[in-house]
Structure 1
Amino acid sequence: MSLLSEAKRRLKLAVDILSIMWRKSRQGHLPLWRQLRESCWLKWHRQQTFRFYLMARMWRREMPWDDKLAHFCYDDFHQLIDLLNPPTHRQLHRHKFAQKQHLLDAGIRTPALYGFFHPDHGIATDGSRLRDVESVAHLLHAHENEIVVFKPEIGSGGEGVVCYRIECLAEQVLLTHPLTGESEPLATRFTQLNHHGHGVVIEAFCHQHPKLAALNPDSVNTLRIWVTNEGNEPRVLGCFLRIGRRHVQVDNTAAGGLICTVDDHGVLQELSRGDLSREVLMQHPDTEVTVCGYPLPFFAEAKTLALRALAAFPDMGIAGLDIAIDEHGPLVLEINLDNPAQIGTACFDRPGRYLFPRLFATEKLA
């Protein structure tokens, strides 16, 4: 990125932040001058970003200053991750293919794994090579009429994740987009698959529970659950539901997804946009479903599964999991051990330091 492009990006972000702060003040929240004073103080003294200030909705009048101080800053969060998930160990678990294999070996319910495409060391689950278009076509022939997920081996925010229904015509494999119905030959899409330098994981699609599909059928709507096992005391730190938007296959906030808080019994509470505005919504803007008070199926089982998944990695002490729910119960789509994403605590609406009172009361994390 050129210096000019970076300067334009920063200027746009600054304008967006000021615009949101002004809008919040007009809605009756803290006045603009107070938001600016607080966010500047937190930036200077706590290395807290302006973006996090907005995502954590620190502009609310009812939010105590002590709670704002107790939110994670960059150093807090990365010290915590380094303490609970030692860097030398978590490097072993960065790759999604290795994670999936480990989860399957541990008996953790997760979508079926079909293979890992890479031009140099790709491999299918049956041990055959998966390194060129012919071998990928051979693999997909076995899954005709299924929806198959392709996701980059390393990545976040749902970037690069695509789903296609597999259709076979003689020797040709067609990839059909399940939302638009558009088809293209595998050979055409193969160039893009080959573009991901770290490779692509190929796995089964999760057909979500009807109660989740009713919220938005175009994406698999997932629970993001944080769990920890500090001091050999496994516990759930918090969770929220991500709900996608119409015509978008992923539910990630980076792709426009919405955030919904969840109470201890699995009942949905407050729905908001996943962008910096965190605008509260009374219903889903596309499906018009009223979300508040909506009960989730298999919620207790989802939390139990999240704890079991972390226990499958005994050298790890914290994780953020993406958990889907189908008609048979919860499944782990992905486990984030390298960086569970600091922004999660803003979405839980609970300051990070309050989640780890013992650690932040010691000299280990001052």
Structure 2
Amino acid sequence: MTTSSKRLSTTTLVGTIRQTLLRAKEGHLPASRQILEMIVLRLFYGLGPSHYHIARYWRRELPWRFKTGFWTYKKFRRFVSKLNPPAYQKLSQNKISEKAILQLFQIPTPHFFGRLHARLGVAATGERLISGDDLTQFILAKPQIDRLCFKLVEGYGGTGFRAVSVVREPTLSLRLLDTGEQMTVSQFVDDVLQPGTGADYIIEEYFQQHPELTRFNASSVNTLRIWAFSRGDTNTALGGFLRVGRCGSLVDNTSRGALAFSVDTKTGEIGTGMIKSIWNETFESHKDSGEKITGGSVPFWHESVNLAIRAVAAFPHLQFAGVDIAITIDGPVVIELNVEPDPTSAFIFDRSHEDIFGMPGLFEQMDNVH
């Protein structure tokens, strides 16, 4: 084990002990009971102490079957591979093929402008897009474009995401939405995106989200993550939550510290928020601005659920995905599908995996999954 790994392990252990004692002091389960449960869950269910605190297992009212109903990453992924054959998962994991399938089935997505790649780059209208000069000519030919975003073709968790506004006077330039820095198109392409290193981007419109979502946090496009299931006559939302970025951040990925608020799948009412960490707490307002979020309603909620289900059904042999939905003033659009969504989203739903996937017939997919 490296020195940094040892330091991380020590920090996590100290944090776990501190949280255990704190929750006991607050009136939750006694520290001795928490420690005993952690040992049993680790030895017999593969669930570690960090899991214990992120899922808030220290609450007195939780039944034991709730705690043992969560799965390890390995078990969850084996289950998902039964629902989504691995040979077909890549159709969604590559943003170019994903975009093509969604558009083919008339499922609304942000407008696609093209692919920026040092060798294979091409605009949706057929022009070459391999350099800053190509992108400059593309933007000049389309005066309606005022904001763009760039996503890695196979990026995850918001990695590599860039968004810019277009400045046309006195000469064409781009302004980064997160820092406000202004540069020429060629500088942006060469110094920021760096396609010469092999980086591969799709270019989309950076659209205006619904005012209600902007109110929660204006710097990020705040999206829904809906666990959608579609097989035969069974089409349903298994769970959903709203992701809200931190003030000044462009992204709303929970892996980057964003806030996650549960959403009632039947009504669209926004529940309490949380940050996925062992320091877990629940809250009702934005942690930075104080803006009240809990108790509100997600605009176009039922339309969003239906759209998520349609998106899953559009992909051959896929039955389940965590679908990211953004909402404009005119309704929802699909940002992307996650065919192997983070299983810890169940913490936000406050439901175990066995409960979430416990609908009749679904556990038939669990054959030989251990």
Find out whether 1:289 has 2:270 as its counterpart. no
Which position in structure 2 is the counterpart of 1:250? Answer: 251
Helix, strand or coil at the partner of 2:187: helix
Report the CA distance shift for 1:23/1:189 in structure 2 as closer, same or farther (over 3 A). farther
1:115-135 CA distance string (max 9 Å, x none): 111212222111222222222
SS in 2 for 1:214: helix
TM-score computed with the length of structure 2 as normaliser: 0.90
Structure 1 residues 287-320: Cα deviation after superposition (integer angstroms, max 9, x where no partner) = 3222222112100000000001111103101100
Q: What amino acid does structure 1 have at the position aligned with 2:312?
A: L
Deviation at 1:174, TM superposition (A): 2.1
Q: How far off its partner does 1:45 sit?
A: 1.8
Aligned ranges for residues 221-240 of structure 1 at < 5 Å?
A: 221-230=222-231, 232-240=233-241
Equivalent position of 1:112 in the other structure: 111
Worse-superposed segment, 44-53 or 259-268: 44-53
Give the SS at the match of 1:311. helix
Aligned length: 363
Native 8 Å contact 2:88 2:316 kept in 1: no
Q: Is the 8 A contact 1:115 1:125 kept in 2?
A: yes
Contact kept, 8 Å, 1:219 with 1:248, in 2: the verdict is yes
Q: Deviations over 1:56-97 (max 9, x none)?
A: 222222111101111122232011111011111112332112
Answer yes or no: is 1:360 the counterpart of 2:368. no
**Stretches of structure 1 lacking an aligned partner (at least 5 in a row):** none
Aligned residues of 1:144 and 1:166 also touching (Cα < 8 A): no
Contact 1:359 1:365 in 2 (8 A): no
Shift of 1:198: 4.9
Question: Residue type matched to 2:210 in 1?
Answer: H
Point out where structure 2 has 5 or more consecutive residues left out of the alignment. none
SS at match of 1:88: helix
2:132–2:187 contact (8 Å) kept in structure 1:
no
User: Which 10-residue stretch deviates more, 228-237 or 119-128?
Assistant: 228-237
Alignment of 1:63-142 (within 5 A): 63-141=62-140, 142=142
CA distance in 2, matches of 1:188, 1:11: 43
Q: Which residue of 1 aligns with 2:328?
A: 326
Distance 1:14 1:147 in 2: 45
What is the rounded CA distance, in whole Å, between the counterparts of 2:188 and 2:257 in structure 1? 25
Query: Which region of structure 1 is more displaced relative to structure 2, 257-266 or 227-236?
Result: 227-236
TM-fit CA distance, 1:17: 3.1
Inter-partner Cα distance in structure 2 for 1:92 and 1:178: 30
- Aligned residue for 1:29, secondary structure, equals coil
Give, in whole Å, the separation in 1 of the partners of 2:10 and 2:198.
32
Amino acid at match of 1:287: S
SS in structure 2 of the partner of residue 202 of structure 1: strand
Aligned to 2:152: 152
Change in CA separation of 1:100 and 1:14 when aligned onto 2, cut-off 3 Å: farther
Q: Distance in 1 between matches of 2:329 and 2:66?
A: 39
TM-score (norm 1): 0.91
Counterpart mapping for 1:333-348 below 5 A:
333-337=335-339, 339-348=340-349
Contact 1:145 1:167 in 2 (8 A): no
Counterpart amino acid of 1:119?
Answer: A
Tell me which amino acid in the other structure corresponds to 2:363. Answer: F
- Whether the aligned pair in 2 keeps the contact of 1:71 and 1:353 (CA below 8 Å) is yes
The 2-side partners of 1:257 and 1:157 are apart by: 11
The answer on whether the counterparts of 1:256 and 1:275 sit within 8 Å (CA) in structure 2 is no
- 1:35 matched to 2:37? The reply is no
The answer for the alignment partner of 1:351 in structure 2 is 352
2-structure distance, mates of 1:268, 1:220 = 17
CA shift in 2, pair 1:75/1:121, >3 Å: same
Which residue of 2 is the match for residue 58 of structure 1? 57
Distance 1:19 1:144 in 2: 55
The answer to whether the Cα contact below 8 Å between 1:273 and 1:281 also exists between their aligned partners in 2 is: no
1:22 matched to 2:21? The reply is yes
Change (3 A) 1:328 1:35: same
Instruction: Name 2:45's counterpart in structure 1.
Output: 46
Find the aligned partners of 1:320 and 1:345 in 2 and give their Cα distance.
11
> Aligned partners of 2:277, 2:143: CA distance in 1, in Å?
37
Separation in 1 of the partners of 2:308 and 2:231? 15
CA change 1:32–1:360 in 2 (3 A) is farther
Whichever residue aligns with residue 327 of structure 2, its letter is: I
In structure 1, C-alpha distance between the alignment counterparts of 2:16 and 2:153, rounded to whole Å:
33
Q: Please report how far the alpha carbon of residue 268 of structure 1 lies from its aligned counterpart in structure 2 after TM superposition.
A: 0.9
Shift of 1:177: 2.6
Structure 1 vs Structure 2: percent identity of aligned residues? 32
Which residue identity is paired with 2:23? K
Report how far residue 114 of structure 1 moved.
Answer: 0.9
Q: Which stretch of structure 1 is more off in the superposition, 348-357 or 17-26?
A: 17-26
